[in-house]
Amino acid sequence: MLRLLMLFAGGLLLVIQQWVYALPNNVQFILFMTGILLVGIPHGAADLLVASTNARVESRKFSSILFLASYLLRLALFAAVLWFLPLAGNLLFIVFAAYHFGETDLHQFKTNTVAGKVFVFSYGLVVLGVILLNHFDEVLPLYMQFESGKTYIQFIHFIDQYRYVILSFTGLLFFVSCFVYFSLHRENSQQQGVFLVRFAVILLILFHLPVILGFTFYFVFWHSLLSLKNVINYLRQNSVHSVKFILKQIGLYSVLAMAGITLFGLTGSMFYNADAMTVYVFLGLAVLTAPHMGVMHEMYRSMRRSSTAPVPADSVIKLL
């Protein structure tokens, strides 16, 4: 039901943008930032609770202090890679984000095998490719705000020149991996058919929306809301915490994450203009992706191992 509602909202946004009233850049930016604050950041704010629950499920000892130290260390290491090796850092971010997006969207499939992991990764690559490569003329000015963008201008121009070749390759990889995976798992063809139709609609929306609106639709709402729903269901099933406590913790760590991104932005020119704020938010999300992906990967692995279906949604989940 949640996916259906989000597809309807995305389709409505596409109709408005294409045929009714093209939203100005400042309105797109406001939607983007509002979504980031209300949904994007909170979807990763329960990592401490998820990690402690992962440890409990696997009968491992857990230390909040050690977890936070490790989390911040991984965050700092990835930030250093982005700072000192921006090309390698951006490529790593694409890899991490692609797998994380795929693992979230395909958590209902059994993807522990090599075929399953390629299926997951290729799914995320197609999504990122349609958002970034198809709208590379909008992405390019964002890169150019940094010295590293000018340093690697030849590589950026190479991507620009061959973006549809790269996008075609990611599409081919997805279709091959999808065919192989579905050939090996024929037990639920109806679910697979629904998935393919839904994915086609997502790509149609992302292909035609501007890059900021496309990212807002997919990351801010589709990915983040699904992640929040999965996290709350997982915690309700496997932890001793109430939904009220979980939501309070998400709120607390969301505020801390927002403060961290703001401090990160103050070291540069985050508040210079809307484009600068957009870039720094992307960088903040990129830095948070590395440790967050690790926590979520353990959660989805635990869910697949136990083959536990999501619990019936209560009133809080229905709101999501």
Closest CA to 297 of 101, 154, 122: 101
User: With pLDDT > 70 as the criterion, what percentage of the chain qualifies?
Assistant: 89
Which residue, 101, 86, 38, 25, is CA-closest to 287? 86
Amino acid, single-letter form, for residue 256: L
In tens, the pLDDT along 101-141 reads 999 999 888 888 999 999 999 999 999 999 999 999 988 88
- Residues 154, 141: contact at Cβ < 8 Å? no
Pairwise CA distance, residues 221 & 165, whole Å: 29
**CA–CA distance, 289 with 120 (Å, rounded to integer):** 17
> Distance between CA 238 and CA 56 in Å, rounded?
8
* Tally of CA atoms within 13 A in the half-sphere of 192 that contains its CB: 15
Q: pLDDT-derived band of residue 187, with 50, 70 and 90 as boundaries?
A: low
Q: Which amino acid is at 255?
A: V
Encoded tokens for 124: 């995320």
Which residues, including other chains, have CB under 8 Å from residue 288's CB and lie 6 or more apart? Answer: 44, 75, 257
Quick one: pLDDT band at residue 308, thresholds 50, 70, 90?
very low
CA–CA gap between residue 292 and residue 203 (Å, rounded): 25
Domain boundaries, the chain: 2-18+26-319
The residue to which tokens 């403060």 are assigned: 259
- 22-57 burial by CB neighbour count: b if 16+ within 10 A, else e? ebeeeebbebbbebbeebbbbbbbbbbbbbbbbeeb
Express each pLDDT in 38-68 by its tens digit.
888 888 888 988 999 999 888 889 999 999 8
Query: Average pLDDT, whole number, for the chain?
Result: 85
Model confidence, pTM: 0.87
Q: How high is the pLDDT of residue 267?
A: 62
Q: Which residue has the higher pLDDT, 293 or 186?
A: 293
Q: Which pLDDT score, from 0 to 100, does residue 65 have? A: 92
Q: Give residue-wise pLDDT tens across range 188-242.
A: 777 888 899 999 999 999 999 999 999 999 988 899 999 988 988 888 888 777 7
pLDDT of residue 309: 44
Which residues have C-beta within 8 Å of that of residue 306, sequence separation ≥ 6?
A: 57
Of 69, 209, 184, the C-alpha closest to 132 is: 209
Per-residue buried b or exposed e for 150-162, using 16+ beta carbons within 10 Å of the residue's own CB: eebeeebeebeee
Token code pair at residue 194 = 């629904």
If one compares 150 and 19, the residue with the highest pLDDT of the two is 19
114-132 vs 86-105: helix axis angle to the nearest 10? Answer: 120
Using pLDDT thresholds of 50, 70 and 90, give the confidence band for residue 317: very low
Question: Would you say residue 270 has pLDDT above 60?
Answer: no
pLDDT score of 320: 41
